[in-house]
Structure formats: C-alpha cells, structure tokens
C-alpha cells in the first residue's frame, strides 16, 4: 500500500481515484476545486480529502493529476499552494491531463529540482474506460520512475506503456486524437451518404463491419450517430482543446495535418450549433443540419 494523492475529480478523475482506493488498496487523499465533490468522494470511498493541492500531496509516494489544460496544470502544481510545494524527495508525480508536451517538460524539470520524478501519462478510453478501470495510459518519462509507478497506474488501466522520454506520452495522445478526428469524420460522411442513398444503415454496417472499413468508432458509435444521440461523455469542447494542441505542435514540428485542421473547423461548426457538450461523434449532426438550411 502506498500513500497517494489525486488532484482533479472530473468525469475521469473521480472514478480513477476510486480505483486507486478499491483495486489498489492505497491510502488515497483527493483534492478538487469544488470541495463538496472531494468530500463526496472521500465519503463514498472511505478516503481523505484536502483543501489545497499542497496539502493533498504532502508526504505522498505518488501524486496524480487530471485537470483541464496547461494553465490548470500549472496552477495545481507550481502555483500558490500547488502540489509541488508538498512533494517529498523521491515522490513520483503522474499527470493524466491531456496537455502539451511543453508543459510536461517544464514540470519534469521543476520536479527534478525537488528530487522528484514526473511522468506525463494522458489517457484514452473516455468516461466508460475510467469507470471500468480499463483506460489506455501513454507515458513519457524516465524508465526508473515508470517502473516504480506502473503498478499503481495499473489500478485504473488495461494498458500502460512507456512511449519515450518526458513529453512522449502527450505526443502519443496527440496521435490518438488525430486518428479519432479523421475516423469520426469519415464515419459521419459514410452514414450520411447511406441515408441519402436510401440504404438501410443497419444492413450496410453489418455488411462492411467485418472488412477493412471496421473501426472501434464504427462498432461503438454508428447506431447512436444514426439516431442523433450524442451523450457519450467526451465533449466537443474537449476535443477542440486537444486538436488545438495537436495543430500547434504540428506547426512547431513542421508536420502537416490538413484533415485534422479541417475537422477542427467542423467541430467549431458543431459548437456553433449548440453542441459544445455533445460527444465527438456529433460531426454527423453538422452534415444533417446542412439539409435543413
């Protein structure tokens, strides 16, 4: 059993912290900006809660974070009352936020000055993956720190891999989001085309799902996409944040992402339609909305 802190109890962090307690049997203290949510978690999982990230992290062996963006991450780590001010020497900080590789490298350096390790460890699998403890975790950092943290991370994961040096986890997550954006746009166009051609969408999917067109998105989203239901958790707002990171990094590295840039603008149109909190499969709504205008 280790002493663990978890900072950020959103739709992902809340169940992830729970698995650290129930599966791992760790001594877990949580922090959330809304104290009532931290209190609720502590009561549900028989854990502790703290009023600042610093207090949560004090004397912990491992500290996890899962917050919104780079600025949120800096706030809960190196900001006033941030977790880094409470880290003990030898602790490992694991960040599950989808953020930039730059902030990961920045915080790795800051942790090193305190004699601590930092691992960027963004996750994939969505709200359902977090609740089921079946996330994919893509890590960047030192091998020694990864080996130390891996058994703890595995409490909420089905796959945990070291992608390379610090920042490599975030870069791998960018690859993941680029793939998802293109797949969802293609699936949206395919379902839209099938409907316009007066085909039975269910029969079409049954015919093609066993071949080269098959994907996780097809298996898990075609039916709700066809029905116009977009309540699977990972919001368009979040995807646009992620794609913004991808596009900035592409600009910095010289990579060309023409399809990703186009799909990002399509998501902006979905936002303008009122779909900010719809899930990412809602790209099809943009195509169907065009029929009404």
The reported pTM is: 0.95
Taking all residues of the chain, what is their mean pLDDT, rounded to a whole number?
A: 97
Confidence of residue 226 (pLDDT cuts 50, 70, 90): very high
Query: Quick check: is 173 catalytic?
Result: yes
Helix (H, G, I), strand (E, B) or coil at 130: helix
Whether residue 293 is predicted with pLDDT greater than 60 in this model: the reply is no
pLDDT digits (tens, 9 = 90+) for 185-204: 999 999 999 999 999 999 99
| Each residue's pLDDT tens digit, 89-119 | 999 999 999 999 999 999 999 999 999 999 9
- pLDDT score at 180: 97
Q: CB atoms < 10 A from the CB of 72, how many?
A: 18
In the chain, what percentage of residues exceed pLDDT 70?
99
Q: Alpha carbon of 131 to those of 33, 86, 268: distances in Å?
A: 21, 29, 29
Segment 29-38, tens digit of pLDDT = 999 999 999 9
Tell me the pLDDT tens digit for each residue of 230-279: 998 789 999 999 999 999 999 999 999 999 999 999 999 999 999 999 99
**What pLDDT was estimated at residue 290?**
78
| Mean pLDDT within 8-18 | 97
Calpha distance 55→219 (Å, rounded): 44
pLDDT single digits (tens) 25-65: 999 999 999 999 999 999 999 999 999 999 999 999 999 99
Q: Is the pLDDT reported for residue 166 higher than 90?
A: yes
The mean pLDDT of 146-173, rounded to a whole number, is 98
Query: Do residues 218 and 191 lie in contact, with contact meaning Cβ atoms separated by under 8 Å?
Result: no
Share of the chain above pLDDT 90, in %: 96
**How crowded is residue 131: how many other Cβ atoms within 10 Å of its Cβ?**
19
Residue by residue, what is the 3-state secondary structure of 137-193?
Answer: EEEECCHHHHHHHHHHHHHHEEEEEEEECCCHHHHHHHHHHHHHHHHHHHHHHHHHH
Indicate which residue of 51, 88, 173, 292 is catalytic: 173
Q: Is the pLDDT of residue 292 over 80?
A: no
- Cα–Cα distance measured from residue 211 to residue 280, given in angstroms and rounded to the nearest whole number: 24
Mean pLDDT of 153-170: 98
């Amino acid at each position: 059993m280790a002493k663990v802190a978890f900072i950020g109890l959103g739709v992902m962090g809340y169940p992830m912290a729970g698995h650290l307690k129930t599966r791992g049997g760790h001594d877990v203290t949580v922090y959330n900006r809304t104290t009532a949510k931290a209190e609720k978690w502590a009561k549900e999982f028989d854990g502790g809660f703290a009023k600042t990230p610093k207090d949560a992290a004090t004397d912990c062996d491992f500290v996890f974070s899962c917050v919104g963006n780079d600025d949120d991450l800096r706030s809960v780590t190196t900001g006033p009352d941030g977790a880094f001010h409470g880290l003990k020497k030898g602790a490992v900080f694991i960040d599950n936020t989808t953020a930039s590789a730059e902030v990961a490298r920045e915080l790795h350096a800051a942790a090193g000055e305190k004699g601590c390790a930092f691992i960027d460890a963004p996750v994939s699998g969505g709200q359902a993956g977090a609740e089921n403890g079946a996330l994919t975790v893509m890590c960047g950092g030192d091998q020694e720190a990864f080996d130390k943290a891996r058994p703890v991370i595995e409490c909420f994961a089905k796959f945990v891999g070291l992608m390379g040096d610090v920042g490599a986890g975030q870069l791998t997550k960018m690859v993941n989001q680029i793939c998802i954006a293109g797949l969802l746009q293609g699936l949206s166009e395919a379902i839209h085309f099938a409907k316009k051609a007066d085909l039975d969408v269910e029969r079409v999917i049954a015919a093609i799902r066993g071949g080269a067109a098959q994907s996780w998105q097809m298996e898990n989203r075609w039916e709700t996409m066809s029905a116009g239901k977009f309540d699977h958790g990972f919001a368009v707002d979040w995807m646009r944040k992620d794609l913004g990171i991808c596009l900035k990094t592409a600009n910095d590295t010289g990579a060309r992402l023409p399809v990703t840039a186009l799909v990002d603008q399509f998501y902006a149109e979905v936002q303008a339609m009122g779909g900010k909190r719809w899930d990412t499969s809602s790209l099809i709504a943009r195509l169907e909305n065009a029929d009404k205008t």
